[in-house]
Amino acid sequence: MKIYFPDKLLPVFFTRAAQKKTLFNDYVVDLLTQLQQKIQNEPGFDIKIEDKINLSQWIILQALTQFEKQKITLAWTGGKDSTLILWMVREVVEKHKLKMPHCMFINEGHVFEEITDFVKELTQKWKLQVTEVHNHNVSSQAKKIGDPITVAKLDEINRQEIKRLGYNKPTFPYEPESYVGNHLMKTVAMNRFLAETKYNAVITGIRWDEQEARAHEQYFSPRGDKFTPDHMRIHPILHLTEKEIWEAIRKFKIPYCKLYKEGYRSLGAKGTTHKAGNKPAWEQDFDKVPERAGRRQDKEGIMANLRKLGYM
């Protein structure tokens, strides 16, 4: 496979010659490991936002060329991070004349109307192929948030996943960001979609700085076990901070959901997500108020466990 390098990044990041030929996994992963160590461990190491965007696009290019003959999907939530990635993917696709990947929108059961409208609008404007992924087997028992879900009435896959969580009560409330709800409505919904469609690579918008459980994630992270279909997770913006996300969005005039302008910093389920302040997200104090302060905090506390179970 041909390895594409962003020339501007070579003097900054890489210690090896661009002409070195080796296998994708051995070479690219090794380079990115060196980069990760440099960013995280060297005091004072800093690069411009343009270089960080170039690096993200380079990672996307590796993913698209590596999986071009297979199946790759982009997990698009309608939030700032995944929308920035979506924009970068479109830039890479246009520049290198590649096929635009499919997008996967996980509907966890209580989505802000503003997010739904934003996703629909951008889907039409950018002519995207988007599939809404949802665990209907769970939601079919609920008419509203908080309704009891009877475990015995669920299908075998959902019952096995609940048992895996160590949950042994006969019912649980339909709450998409609770421990059980988050797992079934997001992780299990995604895994079922991957198993049914045979997508074997997923691009996601997580970052090192947004949550402690994600602080040591790698750019290319293979997944797969008894409960999770074998696939590769690709994380192109690990090295960006929340502040840099907004710097890029505003610099390149990238669309974003209007909830951010109203004071939301991180968008989760409608019923458990609140404003972090009254100013637009990009004007708030990133140092004093955590990005996910407006999210359900019991979920934040169990994020490490959720990620072990396959959450992004």
Q: Print pLDDT tens along the chain (312 aa).
A: 343 444 444 444 444 434 444 444 555 666 667 767 777 777 666 667 887 888 899 889 889 988 866 699 999 999 999 999 999 999 999 999 999 999 999 999 999 999 999 999 999 999 999 999 999 999 999 999 999 999 999 999 999 999 999 999 999 999 998 999 999 999 999 999 999 999 999 999 999 888 788 888 888 899 999 999 999 999 999 989 999 999 999 999 999 999 999 999 999 999 999 999 999 999 999 989 888 877 766 665 677 777 777 777
The pLDDT value given to residue 54: 83
- Tokens read off for 267: 């968008």
What whole-number distance in Å separates Cα of residue 272 and Cα of residue 54? 35
* DSSP codes, 262-309: TT-SS---GGG---S-SS-GGGS-TTTS-TTTTS-HHHHHTHHHHHHT
- Alpha carbons within 13 angstroms on the beta-carbon side of residue 92 total 26
Look up the pTM and report it. Answer: 0.85
Superfamily of domain 67-308 in CATH is: HUPs (3.40.50.620)
Tell me the domain boundaries of the chain: 67-308
Amino acid at 128: L
Helix-helix angle 49-66:80-96, to 10 degrees: 70
Burial (CB count within 10 angstroms: exposed 0-12, middle 13-18, buried 19+), residue 174? buried
Nearest to 141 by CA among 181, 192, 186: 181
Sheet containing 72-75: give its strands across.
Answer: 130-133, 102-106, 72-75, 201-203, 231-234, 220-223
DSSP H or E run through 234 = strand 231-234
The pLDDT value given to residue 24: 47
